[in-house]
Amino acid sequence: MEVTEQKQKQVDYEFPKDFWWGSSSSATQMEGAAAMDGKGQNIWDYWYEQEPNRFHNGIGPAETSGFYYRYKEDIRLMKQIGHNSFRFSISWSRLIPNGTGAVNKKAVAFYQNVIDELLHHDIEPFVNLFHFDMPMSLQEKGGWESREVVDAYSEYASICFELFGDKVKKWFTHNEPIVPVEGGYLYDFHYPNVIDFRRAVQVGYHTQLSSALAIQKYREQQQNGQIGIILNLTPSYPRSNNPADLEASRIADAFFNRSFLDPSVKGEFPKDLLDILREEGYMPSYTETDVAIIRTNTVDLLGVNYYQPRRVKAKENAVHPDAPFMPDRFFDSYEMPGRKMNVHRGWEIYEKGIYDILINLRDNYGNIPCFISENGMGVEGEEKFRDDSGIIQDDYRIKFIQDHLRWTHQALEEGVNVRGYHLWTFMDNWSWMNAYKNRYGFVSVNLEKGGERTVKKSGEWIKKVVQQNGF
């Protein structure tokens, strides 16, 4: 007891006693076994078959970190470094191989075993239903462009709640729903590689509708948990206080943040975004019944993913009349002079962004219960930091986390309802087209040694943070 009290006195930033400490991952990025035990094909499995050259070093989703086979070992490591919570996703195509129809009993057993193992180690499972991994059979029907697929997702969600809801009390409908819109339908970094703003709008609208329908299903089952959504909120900072720069920032925020934040929390889409879509002739196909479902099925809990800021300025050149319609016809990107950079990844580091997001949620979104569901520092070539004892000395990651936690703590002190912090990610994992290019984990995965796991210095550091409930 005296030792504990002594530790507490050494803590400059103390967090609430029930704070959620842990990490996040996703099925496709972590499980492996992409074609094993009855799993159906998802869009990443298919795309890798078609164009393996687009994936870093030609590494595909079958060669991920092998959590499917090694989950017991991995969960023991989570406990060892202090996790009290862990977010993962269910693979829709593993659970229901064709997206609809028969449920895969081996998948049910796997997810039940993972949940049970987490609970055995006093780690609360946070379960996300969709993390970029549309079943290929449903993508062939149009993916999120299709209202039929929205209904298939609603049924999939309902099945998950029935199967696992007695033990899982934190559910999330989507992770970063803006990303498949951007990647798959605007900027060509996700399948189906479409560049079409009209289709992108339909995808975004149907994704939001699917989230609301899943929430409706959850509440119909009267389970005693919480259901939310995970959004990558990226503050849009203007170059200056010039009205034109401020307007550019407001529009960027409407497209990339408020497009999902407002309907998820408030049940309504941003008026300024709707005004643009109407004026430009890009309103999605919708029904008033579905709009009412969105309006009445808002989230209990919000996950916040934050990595870097978005900096914008007013357009400096007119858009060519024949250019495809894109959000950035209303603003230009801006590189702030003197910005701090993650030189290993190429992203700006701006720790105060996490505070600005949280204060915005307090002031403009009813101080909704929220947590930092992803934050992290990717490093290319991280093996160069492995010392003679075999430990990766990632002091840069420790500093990154510390600096973001300081601003999170400041938000807490100012009354923000923030409940936890999850790093992306527990162990180095496969990351879409980048594969294993950038490493993010508390635990290294050595692909040359059969996926050998080694706790990094940051993993030992976070263990002490959790023990002290601060630093």
What whole-number distance in Å separates Cα of residue 91 and Cα of residue 129? 7
437-451: pLDDT as tens digits = 999 999 999 999 999
Half-sphere exposure of 81 (CA within 13 A, CB side): 27
Structural domains in the chain?
12-468 (3.20.20.80)
What whole-number distance in Å separates Cα of residue 333 and Cα of residue 116? 46
pLDDT score at 103: 98
Q: Which residue carries 């180690």 as its tokens?
A: 121
317-365: pLDDT as tens digits = 999 989 999 999 999 999 999 999 999 998 999 999 999 999 999 999 9
pLDDT score at 20: 98
Active site residues: 176, 374
Q: Is 5 exposed, middle or buried (0-12, 13-18, 19+ CB in 10 A)?
A: exposed
pLDDT score at 3: 46
- Phi and psi of 48, rounded to 5°? -65, -40
Residues lower than pLDDT 70 in the chain: 1-9
What whole-number distance in Å separates Cα of residue 36 and Cα of residue 43? 16
233-260: pLDDT as tens digits = 999 999 999 999 999 999 999 999 999 9
Contact 229, 173 (CB under 8 A): yes
What whole-number distance in Å separates Cα of residue 342 and Cα of residue 400? 9
Both tokens assigned to 217 = 């299903």
